[in-house]
Amino acid sequence: MSQFVEFARTDMEMVSDLLARDAKKVPWPLLEQAPPTLGPTDLSIESYISPEIHAREVETIWKKTWQWACRIEEIPNVGDHIVYDIADQSVIVVRVATGAGPEAIRAYHNVCLHRGTKLRVSDGSVPKFRCPFHGWTWNLDGTFDWLPCEWDFPQVNKSELSLPEVRVELWKGFVMVNFDLQAKPLREFLGVVANHFEEFPLENWAISLHVEKVMPANWKVTMEAFMEAYHTVVTHPEILPYTGDANSQYDIYDEHSRMITPFAVASPHLGGPDFDQVKILQAMKAFRKGRNSEEAVTLAHGLSARDQALVDLRSGLEKAFRVDLSQESDTMILDAVQYFVFPNFMPWATFGTPLVYRFRPNGNDVDSCLMTLMLLRPFSGDRPAPAERRFLRADQPWTDDPGMKTLGVVYDQDASNVARVQKGLKAKTNATVKLGQYQESRIRHFHHVLDEYLAGTR
Ligand code: FES
Ligand SMILES: [Fe+2]
């Protein structure tokens, strides 16, 4: 027996019902649905544990697809660069000119053409790229600059010694790279997602939190823990009073997908609209202020918890960021809209949950990965300096980061799950991974696309 309410899918208040009641104009992409169509096929566990499959992914995914390397505001000055490592590959992304145009940013393979030293091991700012081994040096534009004892290299033609380039394009403030010089343009690859994001001004948002952590599971196990709300009921019970978990909406677009999770409504597991409205607000406040908050909440006469949360959150965001959000829809203030861009990038669209995630293999280790979490914020006036990137080792909980606050508790619940999944999968007792047809449809679709890349048919 469960302490939760039993319900059928048809009993629930859906995202579309909430959007229909929105007091303001809802951005058009949120009104369009693209329901999943794939059947209930199981997945192979090998995808998560096999070094051979990882090696194939390096060739067919990581060397072939557009990937988020950094935000443009992380490299504001000429010479500023970041190092983007992916599996055993590495890229330098560098600003070579002022301005926000695509010509201002270049990306190169991060390898010295003398004897193969990794040119840069960390982010920074330099006037030229000088190899620390023998001093071969390149200009920021990739052309060769200095060859010590040139007389000793009769075989070398300096004009042919430019650093090999990696494709780079800008989108909504994100710097995206692709090893494949023949890859289709980013905008074409993003397809529907690019159309939708015309409505979401992420290029005007600033980085307010940036944390990277080694997670104790394969990159796909970890990423998939963030692609469904199905796990909320037992993994994150403290957010259940104000989270539409079972009534989240899932949409599928070519290679990509989306999840819309309403907040300030009670989970269908707790009775949905029948749940105590004051308890919805209490749980929201307790989460924001810390787990043991006993602070009383007030529900203005006649307002639902969602109405009241909207008033509170809208004014809270406006005050914190000194921006006018009075014309933004209820859903842009309250709900979570998470897009997934194949293979590993998740930009979220709303003011209320302005997250960005990225999941990458940790070198060639199939049992751990790097998870990047960024929080963006709107701003007025001058762009605030980007929050510094902080790093958490595998043994450090998310709560170790001073910026995570109660959010860290939730991510530690997820981290604990994925560690157990990885161990369980490696025991190879479970023959397959079984997925829900609707709530886990994005995971199934992701693997469908992944398999096509691995097979070379996409
Ligand atoms: S390996 Fe880079 S200069 Fe020798
Ligand atoms: Fe979770």
**pLDDT 10s digits, 11-56:** 899 999 999 999 999 999 999 999 999 988 899 999 999 999 999 9
For ligand 1, atom 3: residue with the closest CA? 134
Q: How far apart are CA 333 and CA 356, in angstroms?
A: 17
pLDDT above 70 for 260? yes
In which band, very low, low, confident or very high, does the pLDDT at 293 lie, cut at 50, 70 and 90? Answer: low
pLDDT above 60 for 243? yes
Residues with CB under 6 A from ligand 1: 112, 114-115, 117, 131, 133-136
- Supply φ then ψ for residue 50, to 5 degrees: -90, 120
pLDDT digits (tens, 9 = 90+) for 87-127: 999 999 999 999 888 899 999 999 999 999 999 999 999 99
In which band, very low, low, confident or very high, does the pLDDT at 300 lie, cut at 50, 70 and 90? Answer: confident
Tell how far CA 429 is from the center of its chain: 31
Q: How many Å lie between the centroid of ligand 2 and the Cα of residue 233?
A: 10
Q: How many helices (H) and strands (E) does the chain have?
A: 13, 20
Task: State which of 133, 156, 161 you would mutate to test the pocket of ligand 1, scoring each by most atoms of that ligand within 8 A of its C-beta.
Answer: 133
Ligand lying closest to the C-alpha of residue 131? 1
Ligand lying closest to the C-alpha of residue 236? 2
Residues 384-388, mean pLDDT to the nearest whole number:
97
Q: How many Å lie between the centroid of ligand 2 and the Cα of residue 277?
A: 24
Q: How far apart are CA 74 and CA 81, in angstroms?
A: 8
Note the pLDDT of residue 301. 87
Ligand 1 atom, smallest distance to 117 CA: 1
pLDDT above 90 for 2? no
pTM of the model as a whole = 0.97
Q: How many Å lie between the centroid of ligand 1 and the Cα of residue 162?
A: 14
* Cβ–Cβ < 8 Å for 302, 319: no
Q: How many Å lie between the centroid of ligand 2 and the Cα of residue 224?
A: 10
Residues sharing a CB contact under 8 Å with residue 33, sequence separation 6 or more, in sequence order: 16, 249, 251
Q: Which residues lie across from 169 on neighbouring strands?
A: 176
Note the pLDDT of residue 1. 55
pLDDT above 80 for 290? no
- Supply φ then ψ for residue 423, to 5 degrees: -65, -45
Q: Which residues lie across from 90 on neighbouring strands?
A: 85
User: For all residues of the chain together, what is the average pLDDT?
Assistant: 96
DSSP E strand boundaries for 26-114: 43-44, 67-71, 80-86, 89-95, 105-109
Ligand lying closest to the C-alpha of residue 118? 1
CA distances from 311 to 267, 305, 354 (A): 21, 10, 18
pLDDT digits (tens, 9 = 90+) for 335-365: 999 999 999 999 999 999 999 999 999 999 9
In which band, very low, low, confident or very high, does the pLDDT at 292 lie, cut at 50, 70 and 90? Answer: low
Q: Which helix (H) or strand (E) holds 46?
A: helix 46-49
* Cβ–Cβ < 8 Å for 259, 227: yes
Q: How many Å lie between the centroid of ligand 1 and the Cα of residue 119?
A: 9
pLDDT digits (tens, 9 = 90+) for 395-454: 999 999 999 988 999 999 999 999 999 999 999 898 899 999 999 999 999 999 999 999
Q: Residues whose CB is under 5 A from ligand 2 (ion)?
A: 414
Ligand 1 atom, smallest distance to 135 CA: 3
For ligand 1, atom 4: residue with the closest CA? 134
* Cβ–Cβ < 8 Å for 280, 350: no
Ligand lying closest to the C-alpha of residue 133? 1
Q: How many Å lie between the centroid of ligand 2 and the Cα of residue 415?
A: 9
Q: How far apart are CA 257 and CA 244, in angstroms?
A: 18
Task: State which of 92, 109, 115, 146 you would mutate to test the pocket of ligand 1, scoring each by most atoms of that ligand within 8 A of its C-beta.
Answer: 115
Q: How many Å lie between the centroid of ligand 2 and the Cα of residue 238?
A: 12
Both structure tokens of 214: 């080694």
Task: State which of 108, 109, 114, 156 you would mutate to test the pocket of ligand 1, scoring each by most atoms of that ligand within 8 A of its C-beta.
Answer: 114
pLDDT above 70 for 334? yes
Residues 189-194, mean pLDDT to the nearest whole number:
98
Q: How many CB atoms lie within 10 A of CB 161?
A: 17
Which among 221, 440, 258 is positioned nearest to 342, based on CA atoms?
A: 258
Q: How far apart are CA 336 and CA 347, in angstroms?
A: 11
Ligand 1 atom, smallest distance to 112 CA: 2
For ligand 1, atom 1: residue with the closest CA? 115
Task: Spell out the alpha helix ranges (H) of 174-258.
Answer: 186-190, 192-197, 219-224, 232-235
pLDDT above 70 for 294? no
Residues sharing a CB contact under 8 Å with residue 232, sequence separation 6 or more, in sequence order: 239, 240, 243, 245, 267
* Cβ–Cβ < 8 Å for 289, 295: yes
3-class secondary-structure state, position 107: strand
3-class secondary-structure state, position 448: helix
Q: How many Å lie between the centroid of ligand 1 and the Cα of residue 137?
A: 9
pLDDT above 80 for 291? no
